[in-house]
Structure 1
Amino acid sequence: MSVNESLARNRYHPAASSHIALLDVDEQQQALLEKICPAGLFQRDASHRLAFNYHGCLECGCCRLIVGDSALREWRYPPSGCGITLRFG
């Protein structure tokens, strides 16, 4: 089973607002965030600013481990009842 097929089995219950907030980050940090996110949720918009699409977040914390407080204004788990439900098999 491919990674994309495995991710498609998960269930997502997005919250009304993002649980991760970005600061203004430099080019190097933007590149790290784009590379490290296993779900590919950090992407540049039309004006080349880094955007985060929280709806498919795996809540793994990779972004927090790599850039920490230097690029993330806030990182928390989604509120109860929201977020990802992992489905194995």
Structure 2
Amino acid sequence: MPVSESLARNCYHPADKAHITLRPVLSDEQIALLEKICPAGLFRRDAAGKVNVHFQGCLECGSCRLVAGDTALAEWHHPPSGTGLTLRFG
């Protein structure tokens, strides 16, 4: 089963407020790293080249925090109780 199909089986209960925020200025290297490391593909550039974080589909794995840390992320924490990801197996 492709990863995209497996991820589609999960249930997402997004919070109203983002639990991941980026620093105002990021280098191209930092952006490329975030785009590459996130298994859910949450970090994407728009047509103007600005990076958007689509936090609603976050797997809460912390990969972005571990790899980019404080140099790229202004904030990262788990979403509030009752929101976030519910994994579904099978």
TM-score range, shorter chain: over 0.9
Q: CA deviation at 1:19?
A: 0.2
Give the deviation of 1:21 after TM superposition: 0.5
Across the aligned residues of Structure 1 and Structure 2, the Cα RMSD in angstroms comes to: 0.7
1:48 alignment partner AA: G
The alpha carbon displacement at 1:50 in A equals 1.0
TM-score, normalization by structure 1: 0.97
TM-score, normalisation: structure 2: 0.96
Moved over 2 A (4+): none
Residues of 1 paired with 2:39 and 2:50: CA distance? 20
Distance 1:2 1:21 in 2: 29
Q: Distance in 1 between matches of 2:66 and 2:73?
A: 10
SS at 1:21 equivalent: strand
CA distance in 2, matches of 1:19, 1:86: 19
Q: Which residue of 2 aligns with 1:81?
A: 82
Unaligned 5+ runs, structure 1: none
- In 1, the alpha carbon distance for the partners of 2:27 and 2:48 equals 15
1:22 maps to: 22
Q: How many residues align?
A: 89
Distance 2:76 2:11 in 1: 21
Distance in structure 2 (CA, Å) of the matches to 1:62 and 1:69 = 13
Q: Which residue of 2 aligns with 1:8?
A: 8
Instruction: Give me the whole-angstrom Cα distance separating, in 1, the residues matched to 2:86 and 2:72.
Output: 27
